[in-house]
Chain A
Amino acid sequence: METLFTPFASLGGGALIGLGAVLLMLGLGRILGATGIMSGLVFAENSSEFSWRATMVVGMILSPGLIFLVTGQMPELSVPVSPLMIAIGGVIVGFGASLGSGCTSGHGVCGLSRLSVRSIVAVPTFMVTATITVYLIRHVFGA
């Protein structure tokens, strides 16, 4: 399934993602990593650590609705894989991101911006394995 090349929307959206990361550092002094935020909610150690993560997640969840209010359309979301693949992929994502201490936002956006050595190793690693995985699924197994 083809998707449109959207350099301007993607660059602008990326800039807002970066702005979100900068705001979190400015306000609370934290790295914006979705894995850390999620696991901080699931395995909350105390209520003040829980509360900022919870309200931040509420803000994130409200964002498609805000876009709908402004543009009249929900953000595009099409899932070309089966529920089984989403479930299996999700477990692997959770396991790997937790073990590797980060995902696309934490290592990718924040870690690269900090010039973190760990993130400079992590990002190419997951980009390469994702590329190989998509290649195998689409072009070798032909799913």
Chain B
Amino acid sequence: MRLIFALFTGLVFGVGIAISGMMNPAKVFNFFDLTGTWDPSLAFVMGGAVIITFIGYRLVWRRNAPLFGGGFQIPNNSSIDARLVGGSAIFGIGWGIAGFCPGAAIPALGTGRWEVVLFLAAVTAGFYARRLLTPIQQTTKAA
């Protein structure tokens, strides 16, 4: 049941990504291209997602535990450090170059486009590079 639930959750998320326009790099570039062919659509994606999540999380947290047990695993790290700021800045540069982010690219695999495979292979290489260059980091799974 836990796995069927996870499958369904992935499907809901993926359909949302597909409908929203997030998996279309042309739209992502235009969202950031304020002085060019600007398309503000993706602000609505973030708006819709945050409103639902903000409310939904608070309803869910009234429960003592998740449906399938294990407790709520919520990051409690609140330190603003160089890794957070530097890593986020680097991530944004990559997003601006490629036009895909991981959450959009995983569902986009289902379109069968080779560009998506290339992107996700490159992201995986980036994970390995980060592990090699900064190996001491604790796995703070903030996200």
Interface residue ranges, A against B (CB under 8 Å): 1-7, 9-40, 42-43, 51-53, 55-67, 74-81, 83, 85-114, 116-119, 121-123, 125-135, 137-139
CA distance A134 to B30 in the complex (A): 9
| Chain A residues, Cβ within 8 Å of B140 | 101
Complex contact B90–A99 (CB within 8 A): yes
A-B contact count (CB 8 A): 530
Q: Which residues of A contact B137 (CB under 8 A)?
A: 99
4 further interface pairs, Cβ-Cβ under 8 Å (given A123-B88, A130-B96): A6-B21, A10-B44, A76-B21, A79-B115
* A residues less than 8 Å from B23 (CB atoms): 64, 75, 77
Q: Is the CB of B102 within 8 A of A103?
A: yes
> What is the interface residue range for chain B against chain A?
35 or more
Q: Are B16 and A15 in contact (CB under 8 A)?
A: yes
B142 pairs with A11, CB closer than 8 A: no
The one of A15, A76, A104 in contact with B101, judged by C-beta atoms closer than 8 angstroms, is A104
Contact B16 A13 (CB under 8 A): yes
Cα separation A9 to B24 with both chains bound (whole Å): 13
Give the distance in Å from the alpha carbon of A30 to the alpha carbon of B72 in the complex. 6
Chain B residues within 8 Å of A114, by CB: 57, 74
User: Is the Cβ of A89 less than 8 Å from the Cβ of B72?
Assistant: no
Q: Are A27 and B66 in contact (CB under 8 A)?
A: yes
**Which 10 A-B residue pairs are closest in the complex by CB-CB distance?**
A106-B143, A94-B126, A100-B87, A89-B98, A13-B20, A90-B122, A59-B10, A102-B143, A14-B48, A63-B14
Q: When the two chains form their complex, are residues A89 and B84 in contact, meaning their CB atoms are under 8 A apart? A: no
